């Protein structure tokens, strides 16, 4: 072990970068998937709500 | 309903700030580990992600139980949200664990009990999602999801014990029998600060994402109900 | 359609109702026995399930023989593992078929209409599945012993096989009941079951191996403990949640 202390810590910078890419990357991907799904659902909702309004206008049957 | 509540906006801000601070602490405050070098810095968020994974599972199991007892739809939305988020972070945990192992023990995988259990947990999550996707009826989907979340959650500590017991009999061939073989290293006080701060930050991230995902679920429910009305 | 289903399970319901105002416990046992007997009787007539499981198990052993070309000593060392992989896969077959039969013949609905505690259905199915699994194991063990020149009929190993099978079937029946009600059905059961079954599997393999290799009881005990804990925990959990799986 002593030789390691004398040489200094291992050169593992590349792995650290890889690790952080995974951490932030996956979090970002999930966030993006949330945003995309939200936008899609919002769009669907607006479409359906306008359909609903049209249906109400077109059929004022007592 | 589709505008973000103020509390959530504040939480979003807090979450981002905490994450920035935590990252700063990891890179500029935590000392460089003597032996492992820079890759050790992955450890802080690696463990925090693992913690969130477990948290997700716990929440899913608990709200699963509540759903079975009460039958209120909203608990199912929470459960699915918890599983999704837990899964993402469990994935981060396992992959960063592998990345950490590679330079240290010259192998992409050690059958470390914690990592092994985390991987199995990930598989249970995936099975949960597959179970749900095979069911049309929303009520049945919610019930089955709840049951599996509970069954899965209970199996995790048992899996951990069995993996650990297995390991005491089959120690890591590559590494040594020292505690170092499991990635343990002496944490200085500075490291401990960053460690606990990371745990806290990721817990807040979990809550923030959970809230967002729940809102998404509610919106999707609304859309589904309207679709049924129009038989789309 | 509804009456058809009721008619099919008429004998079962009859047997449950035939005793006039039974005390609760004997009603439960009666239902339990009725369900087990229904499955056994059906199997005795068709023998589909058992033959399928058996042939499958033997094929798995055969495949392992060619896949793992090993010397005698290594074969002895992996015997426990190969055995339990065989049981796990053949067990899946049995569970799938057993629950599918309920669903397809509409027996499940009939059972649910009977004035019987839901847990009786669970335990009935579970014991039925257990019996099938044990029957297969009783045949596989001597075959394996012959093929691999290993004496598998040691009391310790029999106990482990029993405990392991109980745990497997406890969780398996629960999960199979869910899987059979989904679109993906058969494929889904192993996906649901295997990750959750791992502690049982590890314990069963290590304990069986331990008995085979004659290592001291001290070292085998933790595994047996784990088996017992697993069995108890999951029987309890299954008992509590089964209601929610079969309600309509």
Instruction: Name the residue facing A48 among B215, B220, B223 (closest C-beta).
Output: B223
Residue A14 resides in a domain: no
Report the range of poorest mean pLDDT among B9-23, B98-112, B170-184, C225-239.
B170-184
* Rg of chain C (C-alpha set): 19
The answer, yes or no, to whether residue B177 has pLDDT greater than 60, is: no
pLDDT of residue C83: 92
3-state DSSP helix/strand/coil % of chain B, to nearest 5:
80, 0, 20
Interchain CB contact of B102 with A (< 8 Å): yes
Q: What pTM was estimated for this model as a whole?
A: 0.87
pLDDT of residue A53: 86
Per-residue confidence at B225, pLDDT binned at 50, 70, 90? confident
Provide the mean pLDDT of chain C.
83
Average pLDDT of the segment spanning C145-166: 89
Cβ–Cβ < 8 Å for C207, C232: no
The answer, yes or no, to whether residue B118 has pLDDT greater than 70, is: yes
CB within 8 A of B60, min separation 6: which ones? Answer: B79, B80, B82, B83, B86, B128, B149, B153
User: Would you call B34 and A49 a contact, using CB atoms and an 8 Å cutoff?
Assistant: no
pLDDT of residue B174: 42
Chain A hits for B2, Cβ within 8 Å: 42, 45
The answer, yes or no, to whether residue C163 has pLDDT greater than 80, is: yes
Among C182, C186, C216, C236, the strongest candidate for a mutation testing the B interface, having the largest count of B CBs within 10 A, is C182
CB within 8 A of B84, min separation 6: which ones? Answer: A30, B56, B129, B213
CA distance C222 to C227: 9
CA distance B51 to B43: 12
Q: Residues 194..213 of B with a Cβ closer than 8 Å to A: which?
A: 205, 209, 212-213
In the structure, how many helices (H) and strands (E) does chain B have?
6, 0
pLDDT of residue C203: 96
User: Would you call B159 and C175 a contact, using CB atoms and an 8 Å cutoff?
Assistant: no
pLDDT of residue C23: 53
The alpha-helical segments, DSSP class H, found in B25-112 are: 42-70, 73-105
Q: Residues 30..59 of B with a Cβ closer than 8 Å to A: which?
A: 32-42, 45-46, 49
In tens, the pLDDT along A30-44 reads 999 999 999 999 999
Among B42, B178, B186, B202, the strongest candidate for a mutation testing the A interface, having the largest count of A CBs within 10 A, is B42
pLDDT of residue C84: 95
Average pLDDT of the segment spanning C6-22: 51
Among B159, B164, B170, the strongest candidate for a mutation testing the C interface, having the largest count of C CBs within 10 A, is B159
- The better pLDDT of the pair A21, B190 is held by A21
pLDDT of residue C14: 55
Residue A36 resides in a domain: yes
User: Would you call B152 and C229 a contact, using CB atoms and an 8 Å cutoff?
Assistant: no
Q: Residues 23..52 of A with a Cβ closer than 8 Å to B: which?
A: 23, 26-27, 29-31, 34, 37-38, 41-42, 44-45, 48-49, 51-52
Cβ–Cβ < 8 Å for A48, B226: yes
The answer, yes or no, to whether residue C1 has pLDDT greater than 50, is: no
Residue A4 resides in a domain: no
Provide the mean pLDDT of chain B.
88
ipTM (interface predicted TM): 0.86
pLDDT of residue C184: 84
pLDDT of residue B171: 59
> Left (φ > 0), alpha (ψ -120 to 50) or beta: where does B112 sit?
beta
Provide the mean pLDDT of chain A.
84
- Find the residue in C nearest to B167 (Cα): C202
- The better pLDDT of the pair A48, B83 is held by B83
- The better pLDDT of the pair C24, B101 is held by B101
Residue A3 resides in a domain: no
Q: How many domains does chain A have?
A: 1
Q: What percent of chain C has pLDDT over 70?
A: 85
Domains of chain C, by residue range, sit at: 2-246
The answer, yes or no, to whether residue C230 has pLDDT greater than 70, is: yes
CA distance C82 to C126: 24
Per-residue confidence at A14, pLDDT binned at 50, 70, 90? confident
Chain B hits for A9, Cβ within 8 Å: 32-38
How far B176 CA lies from chain A's nearest CA (Å)? 12
Cβ–Cβ < 8 Å for B79, B210: no
Domains of chain B, by residue range, sit at: 45-230
Q: Best-predicted range by mean pLDDT among B181-195, C75-89, C98-112?
A: C75-89
- Find the residue in B nearest to C221 (Cα): B165
CA distance B86 to B78: 12
In tens, the pLDDT along C74-88 reads 888 888 999 999 999
Identify the domain containing residue A42 by its residue range: 26-62
Report the range of poorest mean pLDDT among A28-37, B42-51, C3-12, C98-107.
C3-12
User: Would you call B134 and C183 a contact, using CB atoms and an 8 Å cutoff?
Assistant: yes
How far A57 CA lies from chain B's nearest CA (Å)? 15
User: Would you call B35 and A9 a contact, using CB atoms and an 8 Å cutoff?
Assistant: yes
DSSP C80-110: HHHHHHHHHHHHHHHHHHHHHHHHHTTHHHH
Q: Is A60 strand, coil or helix?
A: coil
Chain C hits for B147, Cβ within 8 Å: 174, 178, 241, 244-245
Per-residue confidence at B107, pLDDT binned at 50, 70, 90? confident
The answer, yes or no, to whether residue B165 has pLDDT greater than 80, is: yes
**Nearest to C173, CA basis, from C237, C111, C80, C112:** C237
Q: Is B151 strand, coil or helix?
A: helix
User: Would you call C245 and B120 a contact, using CB atoms and an 8 Å cutoff?
Assistant: no
pLDDT of residue B179: 41
The answer, yes or no, to whether residue B180 has pLDDT greater than 80, is: no
Angle at C144 between CA C139 and CA C147, to 5 degrees: 130
């Amino acid at each position: 072990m002593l030789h390691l202390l004398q040489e200094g810590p291992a050169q593992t910078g590349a792995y650290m970068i890889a690790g952080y890419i995974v951490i932030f990357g996956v979090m970002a991907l999930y966030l993006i998937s949330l945003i995309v799904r939200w936008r899609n659902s919002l769009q669907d909702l607006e479409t359906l709500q306008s359909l609903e309004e049209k249906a109400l206008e077109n059929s004022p049957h007592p | 309903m589709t505008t973000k509540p103020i509390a959530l906006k504040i939480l979003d801000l807090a979450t981002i700030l905490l994450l920035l601070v935590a990252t700063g602490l990891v890179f500029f405050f935590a000392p460089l580990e003597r032996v492992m070098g820079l890759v050790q810095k992955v450890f802080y968020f690696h463990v925090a992600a693992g913690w969130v994974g477990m948290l997700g599972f716990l929440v899913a199991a608990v709200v699963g139980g509540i759903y079975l007892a009460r039958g209120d739809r909203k608990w199912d939305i929470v459960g699915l949200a918890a599983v999704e988020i837990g899964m993402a972070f469990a994935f981060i945990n396992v992959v960063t664990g592998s990345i950490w192992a590679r330079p240290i023990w010259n192998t992409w995988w050690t059958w470390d009990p914690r990592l092994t259990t985390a991987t199995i947990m990930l598989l249970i999550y995936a099975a949960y999602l597959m179970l749900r996707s095979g069911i049309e009826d929303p009520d049945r989907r919610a019930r089955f999801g709840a049951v599996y979340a509970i069954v899965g959650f209970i199996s995790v500590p048992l899996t951990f014990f069995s993996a650990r017991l297995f390991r005491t009999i089959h120690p890591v061939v590559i590494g040594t029998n020292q505690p170092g073989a499991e990635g343990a290293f002496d944490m200085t006080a500075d490291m401990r600060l960053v460690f606990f701060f990371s745990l806290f930050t990721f817990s807040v991230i979990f809550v923030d994402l959970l809230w967002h995902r729940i809102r998404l679920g509610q919106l999707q429910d609304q859309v589904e109900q309207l679709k049924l009305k129009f038989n789309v | 359609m509804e009456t058809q289903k009721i008619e099919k399970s008429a004998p079962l319901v009859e047997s449950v109702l035939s005793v006039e105002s039974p005390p609760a416990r004997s009603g439960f046992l009666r239902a339990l026995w009725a369900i087990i007997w229904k499955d056994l009787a059906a199997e005795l007539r068709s023998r589909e399930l058992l033959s399928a499981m058996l042939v499958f198990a033997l094929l798995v052993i055969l495949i392992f023989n060619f896949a793992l070309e090993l010397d005698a000593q290594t074969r002895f060392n992996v015997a426990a593992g190969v055995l339990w992989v065989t049981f796990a896969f053949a067990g899946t077959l049995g569970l799938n078929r057993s629950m599918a039969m309920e669903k397809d013949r509409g027996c499940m609905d009939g059972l649910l209409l009977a004035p019987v505690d839901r847990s009786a259905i669970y335990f009935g199915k579970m014991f039925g599945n257990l019996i099938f699994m044990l029957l297969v194991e009783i045949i596989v063990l001597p075959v394996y012993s012959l093929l691999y020149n290993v004496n598998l009929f040691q009391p310790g190993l029999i106990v482990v096989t029993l405990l392991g099978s109980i745990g497997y079937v406890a969780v398996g029946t629960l999960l199979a009941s869910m899987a059979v009600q989904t679109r993906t059905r058969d494929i889904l059961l192993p996906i649901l079951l295997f990750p959750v079954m791992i502690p049982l599997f590890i314990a069963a393999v290590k304990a069986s191996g331990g008995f085979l290799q004659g290592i001291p009881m001290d070292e085998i005990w933790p595994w047996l403990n784990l088996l017992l804990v697993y069995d108890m925990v999951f029987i309890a959990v299954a008992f509590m949640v089964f209601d929610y799986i079969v309600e309509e």
